[in-house]
């Protein structure tokens, strides 16, 4: 497709994210329906061109578990990314409409995400960096695919600089400033699976007593998962040690942004949440006995706090729950057409 903005007729708004908005569009010359993501990027023309170049890698990503890419172009002051339209939307929207998702379906979601992550990493050395229910999409053929992976380092930087993203799916090691690895995505998958199976974000309710975590929805989008380096204000020996050894200008820039955030009334709650993720035990698929043992065990391994102990997506493809899900008779097409 030779994509130009004039050829794309906007049909419907699909959603708003932190980085921009997504619209259902028709490519008029071909009649092809697409999802157009519009990302506002406050960056120099040279950086924007670099982002566009980096996005071209997506042309080479071909997997049943990855959203297809049709092209990207600049449309001042935005970057538009055109991708496969998924008519049942994202899993967050689905569970918010129909309630907790059946564990057999959640098993298939886990399988699809692991296949997608393994493909991205094995074939392209790409780490996703933003696994969460709103980046897992579903269509009426019953396919489950992931989108919004971190192909462009420059795009990651540009979006991070506007301080967007969700912090709540972030792994303990990321909060403490460690580099992103495929295992950070596994943590985010674990949190997402609990959210789908329970029909609510896992850091809430029972955690609310020790800190003010009950209204997490309000906290989303305040800290960036992409931003390398440690997040500010989290006490803890490992973080302190890190901060001492990191002295670049970039880090200082980050620091000042972090501090200015503390002016807001929510800051302490955000920091409390991040602190909670680092210091308290990980959430689990509860109550005990409600879900299959294999599912509980799978989620427990995703949420091992030490990344050295946590398996990779490829390791997890051999987990018994995933084997089971592969062979399960659940009809995803029927499921996707039941709501
Ligand atoms: P976020 O992922 O943080 O919600 P995005 O801007 O990435 O923000 O997406 C906004 C919403 O648009 C998503 O929640 C999803 O429901 C919808 N969406 C994104 N991409 C597609 C797509 N390819 N097909 C259908 N819906 C999409
Ligand atoms: Mg998204």
Q: What pLDDT is stored for residue 252 in this prediction?
A: 40
Measured over all CA atoms, what is the biggest interatomic distance in the chain, rounded to whole angstroms? 59
CA–CA separation, 325 vs 43, rounded Å?
44
Single pTM value for the model: 0.84
CA–CA separation, 115 vs 122, rounded Å?
10
CA–CA separation, 127 vs 288, rounded Å?
32
Q: How far apart are the first and last CA of the chain?
A: 32
**Which bound ligand lies closest to the C-alpha atom of 166?**
1
CA–CA separation, 127 vs 307, rounded Å?
15
Q: Which residues face 23 on adjacent strands?
A: 13, 36
Q: What pLDDT is stored for residue 265 in this prediction?
A: 42
- The residue whose C-alpha atom lies closest to atom 16 belonging to ligand 1 is 90
- The residue whose C-alpha atom lies closest to atom 1 belonging to ligand 1 is 17
Q: Please compute, for residue 22, the number of CA atoms within 13 A of its CA located in the half-sphere on the CB side.
A: 21
User: HEC states along 32-53?
Assistant: EEEEEEEEECCCCHHHHHHHHH
Q: What pLDDT is stored for residue 41 in this prediction?
A: 85
State yes or no: 37 annotated in a binding site: yes
CA–CA separation, 61 vs 45, rounded Å?
26
CB burial of 6-35 (b: ≥16 within 10 Å; e: otherwise) equals eebeeeeebeebebbebbbbbbeeeebebb
- The residue whose C-alpha atom lies closest to atom 15 belonging to ligand 1 is 90
- Dihedrals phi, psi of 205, to nearest 5 degrees: 15, -95
CA–CA separation, 171 vs 201, rounded Å?
15
Residue 134 contacts by C-beta under 8 Å, 6 or more apart in sequence? 15, 17, 90, 91, 92, 93
Residues flanking ligand 1, CB < 6 Å:
14-20, 22, 35, 67, 83-86, 89-90, 93, 134-135, 137, 147-148
Q: Hey, which bits of the chain come out as E strands?
A: 8-16, 20-27, 32-40, 69-75, 78-84, 136-138, 144-146
DSSP of 71-112, one letter per residue? EEEEETTEEEEEEE--TT-BHHHHHHHH-SPPHHHHHHHHHH
Check if the beta carbon of residue 259 is closer than 8 Å to that of residue 209: no
- The residue whose C-alpha atom lies closest to atom 11 belonging to ligand 1 is 15
Ligand 1 centroid from CA 309, angstroms: 32
Pocket test for ligand 1, best of 10, 15, 41 (most atoms within 8 A of CB): 15
- From the CA of 67, give the closest atom in ligand 1: 23
CA–CA separation, 66 vs 135, rounded Å?
11
Residue 62 contacts by C-beta under 8 Å, 6 or more apart in sequence? 68
Pocket test for ligand 1, best of 10, 14, 83 (most atoms within 8 A of CB): 14
Q: What pLDDT is stored for residue 42 in this prediction?
A: 82
DSSP 269: H
**Which bound ligand lies closest to the C-alpha atom of 22?**
1
Q: Please compute, for residue 27, the number of CA atoms within 13 A of its CA located in the half-sphere on the CB side.
A: 17
ipTM: 0.99
Q: Please compute, for residue 149, the number of CA atoms within 13 A of its CA located in the half-sphere on the CB side.
A: 29
CA angle 52, 57, 62 (to 5 degrees): 135
- The residue whose C-alpha atom lies closest to atom 27 belonging to ligand 1 is 89
Query: Could you tell me the mean pLDDT of each successive run of 10 residues in the chain, 339 residues long?
Result: 96 90 97 96 89 95 98 93 98 97 98 98 96 97 96 82 62 92 97 97 60 42 42 38 37 34 48 90 96 98 98 98 98 98
- Tell the burial category of 148 from Cβ atoms under 10 Å away from its Cβ (0-12, 13-18, 19+): buried
Check if the beta carbon of residue 138 is closer than 8 Å to that of residue 144: yes
Q: Which residues are catalytic?
A: 130
CA–CA separation, 276 vs 260, rounded Å?
22
- From the CA of 90, give the closest atom in ligand 1: 16
**Which bound ligand lies closest to the C-alpha atom of 134?**
1
Q: What pLDDT is stored for residue 166 in this prediction?
A: 58
- Dihedrals phi, psi of 309, to nearest 5 degrees: -85, -25
- From the CA of 87, give the closest atom in ligand 1: 25
Ligand 1 centroid from CA 35, angstroms: 9
């Amino acid at each position: 497709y030779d994509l130009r903005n004039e050829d794309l007729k906007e049909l419907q708004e699909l959603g708003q994210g932190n980085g921009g908005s997504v619209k259902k569009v028709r490519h008029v010359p071909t009649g092809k329906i697409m999802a157009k993501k519009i990302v506002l990027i406050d960056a120099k023309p040279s950086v924007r061109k670099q982002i566009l170049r980096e996005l071209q890698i997506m042309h080479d990503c071909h997997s049943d578990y990855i959203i297809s890419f049709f092209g990207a172009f600049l449309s001042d002051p935005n970057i538009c990314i055109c991708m496969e339209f998924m008519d049942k939307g994202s899993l967050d929207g689905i569970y918010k409409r129909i309630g907790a998702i059946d564990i057999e379906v959640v098993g298939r979601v886990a399988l699809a995400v692991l296949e997608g992550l393994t493909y991205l990493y094995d074939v392209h050395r790409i780490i996703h960096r933003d696994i969460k229910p709103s980046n897992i999409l579903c269509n009426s053929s019953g396919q489950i695919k992931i989108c919004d992976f971190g192909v462009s380092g420059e795009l990651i930087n540009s979006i991070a600089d506007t301080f967007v993203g969700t912090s709540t799916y972030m792994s303990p090691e990321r909060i403490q400033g460690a580099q992103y690895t495929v295992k950070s995505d596994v943590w985010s998958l674990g949190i997402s699976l609990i959210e789908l199976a329970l029909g609510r974000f896992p850091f809430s309710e029972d955690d609310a007593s020790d800190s003010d975590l009950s209204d997490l929805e309000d906290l989303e989008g305040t800290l960036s998962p992409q931003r390398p380096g440690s997040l500010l204000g989290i006490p803890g020996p490992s973080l302190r040690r890190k901060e001492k050894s990191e002295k670049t200008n970039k880090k200082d820039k980050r620091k000042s942004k972090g501090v200015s955030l503390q002016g807001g009334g929510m800051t302490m709650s955000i920091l409390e949440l991040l602190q909670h993720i680092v210091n308290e035990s990980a959430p689990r698929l509860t109550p005990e006995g409600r879900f299959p043992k294999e599912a509980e065990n799978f989620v427990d391994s995703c949420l091992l706090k030490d990344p050295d102990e946590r398996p990779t997506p490829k390791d997890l493809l051999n987990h018994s729950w995933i084997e089971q899900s592969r062979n399960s008779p659940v009809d995803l097409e029927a499921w996707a057409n039941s709501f």
